[in-house]
Amino acid sequence: MSEIIRVTVWGEYLHERQDEKVRAIYPQGMHTTIAEGIREYLGESVVVRTATLEQPEHGLTEDVLASTDVLTWWGHIGHHLVADEIVDRVHDRVLSGMGLVVLHSGHWSKLFTRLMGTTCSLRWRDDDREVVWTINPGHPIARGVPPVFIIPEQEMYGEYFDIPQPDELVFLSSFRGGEVFRSGCCFVRGQGRIFYFSPGHETYPVYYQPEVRRIIANAVQWVYAPPAPRYATSTCIHSPLGWFEQEA
Amino acid sequence: MSEIIRVTVWGEYLHERQDEKVRAIYPQGMHTTIAEGIREYLGESVVVRTATLEQPEHGLTEDVLASTDVLTWWGHIGHHLVADEIVDRVHDRVLSGMGLVVLHSGHWSKLFTRLMGTTCSLRWRDDDREVVWTINPGHPIARGVPPVFIIPEQEMYGEYFDIPQPDELVFLSSFRGGEVFRSGCCFVRGQGRIFYFSPGHETYPVYYQPEVRRIIANAVQWVYAPPAPRYATSTCIHSPLGWFEQEA
Amino acid sequence: MSEIIRVTVWGEYLHERQDEKVRAIYPQGMHTTIAEGIREYLGESVVVRTATLEQPEHGLTEDVLASTDVLTWWGHIGHHLVADEIVDRVHDRVLSGMGLVVLHSGHWSKLFTRLMGTTCSLRWRDDDREVVWTINPGHPIARGVPPVFIIPEQEMYGEYFDIPQPDELVFLSSFRGGEVFRSGCCFVRGQGRIFYFSPGHETYPVYYQPEVRRIIANAVQWVYAPPAPRYATSTCIHSPLGWFEQEA
Amino acid sequence: MSEIIRVTVWGEYLHERQDEKVRAIYPQGMHTTIAEGIREYLGESVVVRTATLEQPEHGLTEDVLASTDVLTWWGHIGHHLVADEIVDRVHDRVLSGMGLVVLHSGHWSKLFTRLMGTTCSLRWRDDDREVVWTINPGHPIARGVPPVFIIPEQEMYGEYFDIPQPDELVFLSSFRGGEVFRSGCCFVRGQGRIFYFSPGHETYPVYYQPEVRRIIANAVQWVYAPPAPRYATSTCIHSPLGWFEQEA
B72 contacts B33 by C-beta, under 8 angstroms: no
Say whether pLDDT at B3 is over 70. Answer: yes
For all residues of chain D together, what is the average pLDDT?
Answer: 96
- Looking at beta carbons, which residues of chain C come within 8 Å of D177? 239, 241-243
Nearest to A227, CA basis, from A97, A44, A48, A46: A97
Closest Cα in chain C, distance from residue A104 (Å): 19
Q: Is the bond into D13 cis (omega within 30 degrees of 0)?
A: no
Residue A87: pLDDT band (50, 70, 90) is very high
**Helix count (H) and strand count (E) of chain A?**
8, 10
Check C248 against B168: CB less than 8 A apart. Answer: no
Q: Average the pLDDT over A124-141 and give the result.
A: 96
Q: How far is CA D195 from CA A137, C166, D73, D186, D219, in A?
A: 17, 18, 10, 5, 7
Return the residue in B4, B69, B132, B191 with the most chain C beta carbons within 10 A, the one to mutate for interface testing: B191
Residues in contact with A212: Cβ distance below 8 Å, sequence separation at least 6, in sequence order: A37, A151, A199, A200, A206
Q: How far apart are CA A142 and CA A215, in angstroms?
A: 7
Strands D180-189 and D192-197: antiparallel
Of A147, A159, A168, the CB nearest to C172: A159
Check B178 against D180: CB less than 8 A apart. Answer: no
Please name the helix (run of DSSP H) or strand (run of DSSP E) that holds residue A39, with its range, or none.
helix A30-42
Please name the helix (run of DSSP H) or strand (run of DSSP E) that holds residue B185, with its range, or none.
strand B180-189
| B167 shares contact with chain C (CB less than 8 Å) | yes
* pLDDT tens-digit readout, B214-239: 999 999 999 999 999 888 777 888 98
Closest Cα in chain D, distance from residue B198 (Å): 16
In this structure, how many other beta carbons lie within 10 angstroms of the beta carbon of residue D64? 18
Return the residue in B119, B135, B169 with the most chain D beta carbons within 10 A, the one to mutate for interface testing: B135
- Looking at beta carbons, which residues of chain A come within 8 Å of B243? 177
Say whether pLDDT at A247 is over 70. Answer: no
The ipTM, to two decimals, is 0.96
pLDDT at D1: 46
pLDDT at C246: 79
| B172 shares contact with chain C (CB less than 8 Å) | no
Residues in contact with B62: Cβ distance below 8 Å, sequence separation at least 6, in sequence order: B89
CATH code at C220? 3.40.50.880
Check B133 against D159: CB less than 8 A apart. Answer: yes
In this structure, how many other beta carbons lie within 10 angstroms of the beta carbon of residue C10? 30
pLDDT at D247: 66
Check D189 against C232: CB less than 8 A apart. Answer: no
Say whether pLDDT at C1 is over 80. Answer: no
| Range 132-161 of A in CB contact (< 8 A) with C | 133-137, 147, 158-161
| B99 shares contact with chain C (CB less than 8 Å) | no
* pLDDT tens-digit readout, C45-79: 999 999 999 999 999 999 999 999 999 999 999 99
* pLDDT tens-digit readout, B33-62: 999 999 999 999 999 999 999 999 999 999
Q: How far apart are CA A73 and CA A102, in angstroms?
A: 5
Q: How far apart are CA D14 and CA D31, in angstroms?
A: 11
- Looking at beta carbons, which residues of chain B come within 8 Å of D174? 174, 178-180
Q: Could you tell me what percent of chain A has a pLDDT over 70?
A: 98
Residue A232: pLDDT band (50, 70, 90) is confident
The four Cα atoms D21, D22, D24, D28 give a dihedral, to 10 degrees, of -160
Q: Record the pTM.
A: 0.97
Phi, psi of C102 (to 5 degrees): -105, 130
A118 contacts A163 by C-beta, under 8 angstroms: yes
| Alpha helices (H) along chain B | 15-18, 20-25, 30-42, 62-66, 84-95, 110-116, 210-223, 243-247
Q: How far apart are CA A180 and CA D3, in angstroms?
A: 36
Check C135 against A169: CB less than 8 A apart. Answer: no
- Counting as contact any 3 or more CB pairs under 8 A, the partners of C are A, B, D
Say whether pLDDT at D46 is over 70. Answer: yes
In this structure, how many other beta carbons lie within 10 angstroms of the beta carbon of residue B61? 15
Weakest mean pLDDT among B185-189, C102-106, C114-118, D1-5: D1-5
Q: Can you list the positions of beta strands (E) in chain D?
A: 5-11, 46-52, 70-74, 99-103, 123-134, 148-158, 168-175, 180-189, 192-197, 237-238
B192 contacts C138 by C-beta, under 8 angstroms: yes
pLDDT at C2: 62
Q: How far apart are CA B221 and CA D193, in angstroms?
A: 36
Residue B1: pLDDT band (50, 70, 90) is very low
pLDDT at B247: 66
What do you get for the CA distance between the two ends of chain A, in Å? 28
Check C178 against A131: CB less than 8 A apart. Answer: yes
| C178 shares contact with chain A (CB less than 8 Å) | yes
Q: How far apart are CA B88 and CA B95, in angstroms?
A: 11
Q: Can you list the positions of beta strands (E) in chain A?
A: 5-11, 46-52, 70-74, 99-103, 123-134, 148-158, 168-175, 180-189, 192-197, 237-238
* pLDDT tens-digit readout, C174-231: 999 999 999 999 999 999 999 999 999 999 999 999 999 999 999 999 999 999 988 8
Which residues are paired to D154 by β-bridges?
D128
C219 contacts C70 by C-beta, under 8 angstroms: no
* pLDDT tens-digit readout, B141-164: 999 999 999 999 999 999 999 999
pLDDT at A2: 61
- Name the 3-class secondary structure at A43: helix
| A198 shares contact with chain C (CB less than 8 Å) | no
- Name the 3-class secondary structure at D122: coil
In this structure, how many other beta carbons lie within 10 angstroms of the beta carbon of residue C17? 11
Q: Average the pLDDT over C97-114 and give the result.
A: 98
Closest Cα in chain B, distance from residue A96 (Å): 10
Dihedral sign from CA coordinates of A121, A122, A128, A131: negative
Nearest CA in chain D to C166: D167
- Looking at beta carbons, which residues of chain B come within 8 Å of A156? 239
A238 contacts B124 by C-beta, under 8 angstroms: yes
pLDDT at B241: 87
- Counting as contact any 3 or more CB pairs under 8 A, the partners of D are A, B, C
Determine the Cα angle at C110 with ends C109 and C111, to 5°.
90
For all residues of chain A together, what is the average pLDDT?
Answer: 96
A53 contacts A78 by C-beta, under 8 angstroms: yes
| B233 shares contact with chain A (CB less than 8 Å) | yes
| C192 shares contact with chain D (CB less than 8 Å) | no
A27 contacts A47 by C-beta, under 8 angstroms: no
Residue C153: pLDDT band (50, 70, 90) is very high
Q: Is the bond into C224 cis (omega within 30 degrees of 0)?
A: no
Q: How far apart are CA D62 and CA D60, in angstroms?
A: 7
| A95 shares contact with chain B (CB less than 8 Å) | yes
pLDDT at B248: 55
| C165 shares contact with chain A (CB less than 8 Å) | yes
Say whether pLDDT at D194 is over 70. Answer: yes
| D43 shares contact with chain C (CB less than 8 Å) | no
Check C138 against B225: CB less than 8 A apart. Answer: yes
* Amino acid symbol at A82: V
Closest Cα in chain B, distance from residue D149 (Å): 11
Nearest CA in chain D to C128: D241
Check D138 against A188: CB less than 8 A apart. Answer: yes
Check B160 against D178: CB less than 8 A apart. Answer: no
Nearest to D60, CA basis, from D50, D69, D48: D50
- Looking at beta carbons, which residues of chain D come within 8 Å of A167? 167-168
Nearest CA in chain C to D94: C118
Nearest to C123, CA basis, from C197, C185, C181: C181
Closest Cα in chain C, distance from residue A4 (Å): 32
pLDDT at A230: 87
Check D138 against A245: CB less than 8 A apart. Answer: no
Closest Cα in chain B, distance from residue A230 (Å): 11
The total of structural domains in chain B comes to 1
Say whether pLDDT at D248 is over 60. Answer: no
Residues in contact with C248: Cβ distance below 8 Å, sequence separation at least 6, in sequence order: B148, B149, B150
Q: How far apart are CA C117 and CA C125, in angstroms?
A: 25
Check A143 against D97: CB less than 8 A apart. Answer: no
Nearest CA in chain C to D105: C236
Q: How far apart are CA D165 and CA C168, in angstroms?
A: 11
D190 contacts D94 by C-beta, under 8 angstroms: yes
Say whether pLDDT at A233 is over 80. Answer: no
Please name the helix (run of DSSP H) or strand (run of DSSP E) that holds residue C113, with its range, or none.
helix C110-116
Say whether pLDDT at C120 is over 90. Answer: yes
Check D148 against A244: CB less than 8 A apart. Answer: yes
Check C124 against D240: CB less than 8 A apart. Answer: no
* pLDDT tens-digit readout, D119-134: 999 999 998 999 999 9
| A131 shares contact with chain D (CB less than 8 Å) | yes
Domain of D103?
5-247
Q: How far apart are CA B178 and CA D92, in angstroms?
A: 40
Q: How far apart are CA B117 and CA D21, in angstroms?
A: 51
